Amino acid sequence: MKMPKLKGFEFWRNTLRGARYVVAPMVDQSELAWRLLCRRHGAQLCYTPMLHAQVFVRDANYRKENLYCEVCPEDRPLIVQFCANDPEVFVQAALLAQDYCDAIDLNLGCPQMIAKRGHYGAFLQEEWDLLRRMITLANEKLSVPITCKIRVFPEIAKTVKYAQLLEAAGCQLLTVHGRTKEQKGPLAGVASWEHIQAVRKSVNIPVFANGNIQYLSDVEQCIQKTGAHGVMSAEGNLHNPALFEGRNPVVWEMAEEYLEIVQQYPCPLSYVRAHLFKLWHHTLQIHQQLRDELAKVKTLEGLVAVNKELKLHCQEEMANLKEEDKPKGALPFSHWICQPYMRPGPKETCKENGTKAMEGSNRGKRALEDEDDGCSDSLSKNKQKKKLRNPNKTFDPSLKPKYAKCDQCGNPKGNKCVFNLCRGCCKKRAFRETADCPGHGLLFKTKYEKSLLWKSSQSNLPNTETIAQKGEMKETRLLKESIDGVA
């Protein structure tokens, strides 16, 4: 007998086991190995990384790599998050995922440029009718509850109406990130717990709070201030996966445990490298040469070796540490202790505030750039790494080759295209008009003419079936005559 779908608080208490400590969905960062590490250290609920609904529907390999790869009983309760902007596609993806999780979450909080280009995440927050249709359809079709993760509007009243609309459409649990979609990167600022508190008071479903969580004490303070039923951590969790235990362990303890889990539950090397960069962030500001090594290694064994080398350096420092020595870089703890990373704001803000900690972190962050050539101030670290690999590479926009644009879509057009279009637009037009474009190797007209010639040549040939029938009749007549002659 099929169990009825639980809703709201019943779903939170029974299926999610009243989870209060939640690991956020993080692209390429909340993979299975990391989720298992966090669960060992206090996390009670985890989300998958954000998955693209359209890709999930059409690509079996994408489904296998991101959800179907390992069945792990330890990894529950689990919520799968999708980004989508089409009700039918969202529901198709959710139906494929619902047997592998406890709920499906719709991402309405991603503020990145890729979300703006793809028209999903926080860039759907003004399209209330579309969101109502997406959630209503999912609530009707799925056997598991539908949840949402949102960002706030500047106005508390509008945020409250937004949350109530999602609840009315069928959302069974709401995560509220107390920042607007404009608050990201250096402009992230402080999350508004007042917005979260207002939403919590206005809806009759469980609410998770997200933002400003760096220590376990922040979790308790947030719950007390907002009344939220649980607290979600992203950045704080990446720098200290034992955050929900209330511990600040040495970095290598967490790194070694994570690397052991990765050996059992493999994931792309880029994910592992990114986690080690987060865990070792403060130490790598001091040991820059190991930062470069960590960036260059190509195997899991290589990452393990760099991790051991970092551990040895830190243990040597610990052995020589004096009681009166203070942590470097104005940190609350020594750099080999898991602790939060205070994201520096814009340079103008730092100068106005004159905050020494901010300035110190900026100096550490840009140290690699200062060692480069004269144009280091204008090059990002990523571009500097590319220049190290290829010294002749230039990033001067004036020296980049100029491409003529397609008359229809703006992509680079083919230099020899007869229609002055890119290949995609050219293919559509050539097919529609039964034309050729030698520049793109499209020969619709030529192939059509060849097919007509072949058909006409076939019609001029004598009918082989008729010839065969006549031959059989002639043989039968001759045989009959010979029998009559014998008789």
The answer to whether 207 touches 176, Cβ cutoff 8 Å, is yes
Cβ-Cβ contacts under 8 Å for 208 (sequence gap 6 or more): 22, 173, 174, 175, 176, 228, 229, 230, 231, 232
Q: What spatial distance separates the first Cα and last Cα of the chain, rounded to whole Å?
A: 84
Nearest Cα to Cα of residue 425 among 438, 410, 415: 410
Whole-number Å distance between alpha carbons of 128 and 262: 41
| DSSP output for 151-205 | E--SSHHHHHHHHHHHHHHT---EEEESS-TT--GGG-----HHHHHHHHHH-SS
Q: Is 81 helix (H, G, I), strand (E, B) or coil?
A: strand
Whole-number Å distance between alpha carbons of 113 and 340: 25
The answer to whether 145 touches 171, Cβ cutoff 8 Å, is no
Angle at 116 between CA 114 and CA 119, to 5 degrees: 105
| DSSP output for 412-450 | BPPTT-TTS--HHHHHHHHHHHT-EEGGGTEEHHHHHHH
Is 110 tagged catalytic?
yes
pLDDT band at 358 (very low <50, low <70, confident <90, very high): very low
Per-residue pLDDT at 387: 79
pLDDT band at 347 (very low <50, low <70, confident <90, very high): low
Per-residue pLDDT at 171: 98
Whole-number Å distance between alpha carbons of 438 and 431: 13
pLDDT band at 389 (very low <50, low <70, confident <90, very high): confident
Q: Is 250 helix (H, G, I), strand (E, B) or coil?
A: strand
Angle at 475 between CA 474 and CA 480, to 5 degrees: 100
Nearest Cα to Cα of residue 176 among 240, 250, 125: 125
The answer to whether 179 touches 140, Cβ cutoff 8 Å, is no
Residue with tokens 């649990």: 173
Per-residue pLDDT at 475: 62
Cβ-Cβ contacts under 8 Å for 480 (sequence gap 6 or more): none
Active-site residue among 110, 314, 422, 437?
A: 110
Taking each helix axis as running N to C, give the angle between helix 128-141 and helix 156-169, from 0 to 180 degrees, rounded to the nearest 10. Answer: 30
pLDDT band at 275 (very low <50, low <70, confident <90, very high): very high
Nearest Cα to Cα of residue 23 among 210, 197, 192: 210
Per-residue pLDDT at 50: 96
- pLDDT tens digits along 211-270: 999 999 999 999 999 999 999 999 999 999 999 999 999 999 999 999 999 999 999 999
Nearest Cα to Cα of residue 109 among 17, 234, 203: 234
Per-residue pLDDT at 272: 96
Per-residue pLDDT at 382: 82
Nearest Cα to Cα of residue 139 among 228, 29, 17, 7: 7
Q: Is 207 helix (H, G, I), strand (E, B) or coil?
A: strand
Cut 0.85: pTM above it:
no
pLDDT band at 49 (very low <50, low <70, confident <90, very high): very high
- Conformation bin of residue 246: beta by default, left when phi > 0, alpha when psi is -120 to 50: left
- pLDDT tens digits along 444-484: 999 988 888 888 888 776 655 555 565 666 666 655 665 55
Per-residue pLDDT at 369: 36
DSSP β-bridge partners for residue 175: 149, 208
More confident: 345 or 340: 340
- pLDDT tens digits along 300-315: 999 999 999 999 999 9
With 0-12 CB in 10 A as exposed, 13-18 as middle and 19+ as buried, what is 133?
middle
The answer to whether 20 touches 229, Cβ cutoff 8 Å, is yes
Per-residue pLDDT at 118: 93
Average pLDDT of the chain is 87
pLDDT band at 404 (very low <50, low <70, confident <90, very high): confident
Whole-number Å distance between alpha carbons of 85 and 88: 9
- pLDDT tens digits along 77-108: 999 999 999 999 999 999 999 999 999 999 99
Here the tokens at position 293 are: 């090594």
Whole-number Å distance between alpha carbons of 191 and 208: 14
User: Which CA distances in Å does 473 have to 419, 476, 478, 481, 483?
Assistant: 59, 5, 9, 12, 16
Give the whole-number percent of the chain exceeding pLDDT 90: 64
Residues shown for the chain: 487
Nearest Cα to Cα of residue 226 among 190, 179, 192, 188: 192
Nearest Cα to Cα of residue 278 among 313, 238, 248, 335: 238
Residue with tokens 């007042």: 194
Q: Is 476 helix (H, G, I), strand (E, B) or coil?
A: helix
Per-residue pLDDT at 111: 95
Whole-number Å distance between alpha carbons of 419 and 430: 9
Here the tokens at position 164 are: 């109530």
Instruction: Give me the sign of the Cα torsion angle 263, 264, 270, 275.
Output: negative
